[in-house]
């Protein structure tokens, strides 16, 4: 093995033959030597036996390019880091902007069409659809991120899989075990987080501000084949920078709601008979059970025994006195027949009841007012105050409820019924007095 200047000097036949043989030996051995050839050419090969690397001379003939590691049973190839636009290993039919690169120390990535798509970083995280220009807390932002540790002391894992026998659909699984001081794992405890799904977006300042979050927790004491859990749904309020818990589903299926305003149940059903809220008993699943209470789309309520209760224990009350006469109030109330206007979307059948404005003149305490609202369309603006556009080029909008300046009056019928009971008692007392007088008059006449 040797190097050669590849210049055959004038000499005798034997010397020329020896010079040619040395040149051929240098060619077949890729100029293998512990030192570089004394005379170098652009695109020349050199097997560096000192470093154990096959090298290639660059076009400018001013540096060597490392190609292949020569030691070991298998070939090891060294590449430049490259970039998303110019990966170090590209695919001919896809173009020079699609291939493999290393975006940083101890990380590898795949780019397509000049955009970094998949990254395995130095922390062991797998990030999909990532772009190197967007970061969250110093890390590359990603549409799918899988990370965790496999130490015995504390294990977290996230996996996406398809059941091998295709009897179920794809699964996204998050798992966690708690660590101990000696490095072994123990069962998770009540309140431990099992996984979080976070929905975030760029807000003009931060690249990953959370708008909504789903958190799964242990809700109880786990045991053998026993893992009680809960789901918490959190949302970020307009003007806030972090999420607030809005709905929690406990392991019993009990929902706990938290709202800043009235709790609304809305339905797109127009048929009055459709149930939009049902409470069932003796149920073994979401599709079984016996109806106990129903609210229908027209506002009608049904329950099985027509029993409606209220908290009334004396131990909870004070300032208890007999109610005054309701006679005059009940006498002054005008009971009307009416139907709702068609544009109200309420039932237009004939009903019997009272008019809030009339009741307010007699018993103002029975009438409440709620502010009317309407849903308005608000354009979404970008960081420069210009209308933001969707993928189709249409202006993006959001919807918000705002007050109209008008109010709607309601009547507390349940209180009105109690006033009627009191007036009935007064009427009964008067009837009994009259009956006594009539009996006395009839007795005297005989």
The predicted-structure confidence for 290-330, as pLDDT tens digits, reads as follows: 989 999 888 889 999 988 889 999 999 999 999 999 999 99
- Are residues 96 and 205 located together in one domain of the fold? yes
What is the spatial distance between Cα 199 and Cα 97, in angstroms, rounded to a whole number?
30
The predicted-structure confidence for 50-83, as pLDDT tens digits, reads as follows: 988 889 999 999 999 888 888 766 667 778 899 9
Span 110-139, average pLDDT:
71
Please give the pLDDT value at position 80.
84
- Are residues 149 and 113 located together in one domain of the fold? yes
Please give the pLDDT value at position 134.
42
- Are residues 194 and 335 located together in one domain of the fold? no
> Nearest 5 degrees, angle CA 131-CA 132-CA 134?
75
- Are residues 43 and 108 located together in one domain of the fold? no
Q: Say what percent of the chain tops pLDDT 70.
A: 86
Q: In the listed set 215, 239, 259, which residue is the last one of a domain according to the structure?
A: 259
In this structure, is residue 268 part of a structural domain? Answer: no
What total of structural domains would you count in the chain? 3
- Beta-strand (E) ranges in 272-390? 275-281, 290-296, 301-303, 336-338, 351-353, 367-379
Please give the pLDDT value at position 141.
47
Instruction: Record the pTM.
Output: 0.55
- Are residues 142 and 209 located together in one domain of the fold? yes
- Are residues 360 and 254 located together in one domain of the fold? no
- Are residues 68 and 99 located together in one domain of the fold? no
- Are residues 122 and 51 located together in one domain of the fold? no
- Are residues 70 and 130 located together in one domain of the fold? no
Please give the pLDDT value at position 178.
61
In this structure, is residue 311 part of a structural domain? Answer: no
The predicted-structure confidence for 405-435, as pLDDT tens digits, reads as follows: 999 999 999 999 999 999 999 999 999 999 9
Residue 132 has pLDDT above 70, yes or no: no
Which pair of structure tokens corresponds to residue 18? 């020896």
Which pair of structure tokens corresponds to residue 435? 């009956």
In this structure, is residue 267 part of a structural domain? Answer: no
Q: How far apart are the first and last CA of the chain?
A: 153
Is pLDDT larger for residue 352 or for residue 68?
A: 352
- Are residues 122 and 232 located together in one domain of the fold? yes
Q: In the listed set 203, 226, 259, which residue is the last one of a domain according to the structure?
A: 259
Tokens 């291939």 -> residue = 99
The predicted-structure confidence for 237-271, as pLDDT tens digits, reads as follows: 888 888 999 999 988 888 888 887 777 787 877 77
Assign residue 356 the CATH number of its domain. Answer: 1.10.10
Residue 382 DSSP SS3: coil
In this structure, is residue 284 part of a structural domain? Answer: no
Please give the pLDDT value at position 241.
84
Are the C-beta atoms of 140 and 127 separated by less than 8 Å?
Answer: yes
Q: Say what percent of the chain tops pLDDT 90.
A: 39
Which pair of structure tokens corresponds to residue 293? 């209470």
Please give the pLDDT value at position 169.
62
Q: In the listed set 259, 283, 300, which residue is the last one of a domain according to the structure?
A: 259
Write down the mean pLDDT value for the chain: 84
- Are residues 142 and 216 located together in one domain of the fold? yes
- Select, from the ranges 77-91, 222-236, 322-336, the one with the highest average predicted confidence (pLDDT): 322-336
Which pair of structure tokens corresponds to residue 247? 């709905």
Residue range of the domain that includes 401: 325-445
In this structure, is residue 274 part of a structural domain? Answer: no
In this structure, is residue 312 part of a structural domain? Answer: no
- Pick left, alpha or beta for residue 213 (phi over 0 → left; psi -120 to 50 → alpha; otherwise beta): beta
In this structure, is residue 309 part of a structural domain? Answer: no
In this structure, is residue 425 part of a structural domain? Answer: yes
- Are residues 244 and 375 located together in one domain of the fold? no
Is pLDDT larger for residue 386 or for residue 204?
A: 386
């Amino acid at each position: 093995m040797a190097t050669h200047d590849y210049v055959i000097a004038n000499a005798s036949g034997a010397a020329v033959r020896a010079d040619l043989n040395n040149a051929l030996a240098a060619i077949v051995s890729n100029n293998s030597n512990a030192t570089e050839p004394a005379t170098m050419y652009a695109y020349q090969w050199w097997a560096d036996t000192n470093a154990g690397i096959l090298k290639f001379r660059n076009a400018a003939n001013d540096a060597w390019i490392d190609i292949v590691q020569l030691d070991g049973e298998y070939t090891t190839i060294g590449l430049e880091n490259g970039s998303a636009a110019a990966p170090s290993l590209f695919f001919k039919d896809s173009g020079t902007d699609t291939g493999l690169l290393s975006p940083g120390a101890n990380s590898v990535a795949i780019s397509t069409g000049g955009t970094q798509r998949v990254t395995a970083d130095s922390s062991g995280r797998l990030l999909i659809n990532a772009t190197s220009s967007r970061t969250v807390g110093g890390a590359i932002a990603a549409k799918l991120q899988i990370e965790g540790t496999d130490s015995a002391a504390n294990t977290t894992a996230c996996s996406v899989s398809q059941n091998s026998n295709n009897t179920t659909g794809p699964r996204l699984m998050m798992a966690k075990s708690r660590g101990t001081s000696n490095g072994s794992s123990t069962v998770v405890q009540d309140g431990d987080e099992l996984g979080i799904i976070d929905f975030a977006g760029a807000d003009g300042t931060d690249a990953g501000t959370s708008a909504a979050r789903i958190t799964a927790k242990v809700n109880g004491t786990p045991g053998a084949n026993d893992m009680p859990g809960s789901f918490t749904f959190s949302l970020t309020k307009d003007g806030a920078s972090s999420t607030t818990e809005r709905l929690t589903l406990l392991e019993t299926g009990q929902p706990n709601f938290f709202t800043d305003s009235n709790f609304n149940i809305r339905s797109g059903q127009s048929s009055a008979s459709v149930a939009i809220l049902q409470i069932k008993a003796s149920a073994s699943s979401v599709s079984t059970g016996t109806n106990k209470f129903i609210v229908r789309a027209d506002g009608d309520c049904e329950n099985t025994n027509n029993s409606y209760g209220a908290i009334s224990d004396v131990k909870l009350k004070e300032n208890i006195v007999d109610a005054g006469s309701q006679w005059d109030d009940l006498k002054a109330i005008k009971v009307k027949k009416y139907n709702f206007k068609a544009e109200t979307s309420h039932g237009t059948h004939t009903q019997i009841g009272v008019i809030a404005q009339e009741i307010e003149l007699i018993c103002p305490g029975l009438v409440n007012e709620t502010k009317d609202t309407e849903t308005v369309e608000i354009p979404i603006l970008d960081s420069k105050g210009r209308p933001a556009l969707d993928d189709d080029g249409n202006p993006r909008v959001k919807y918000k409820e705002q007050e109209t300046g008008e109010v709607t009056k309601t009547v507390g019928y349940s209180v009105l019924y109690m006033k009627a009971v009191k007036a009935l008692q007064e009427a009964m007392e008067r009837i009994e007095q009259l009956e006594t007088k009539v009996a006395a008059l009839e007795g005297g006449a005989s």
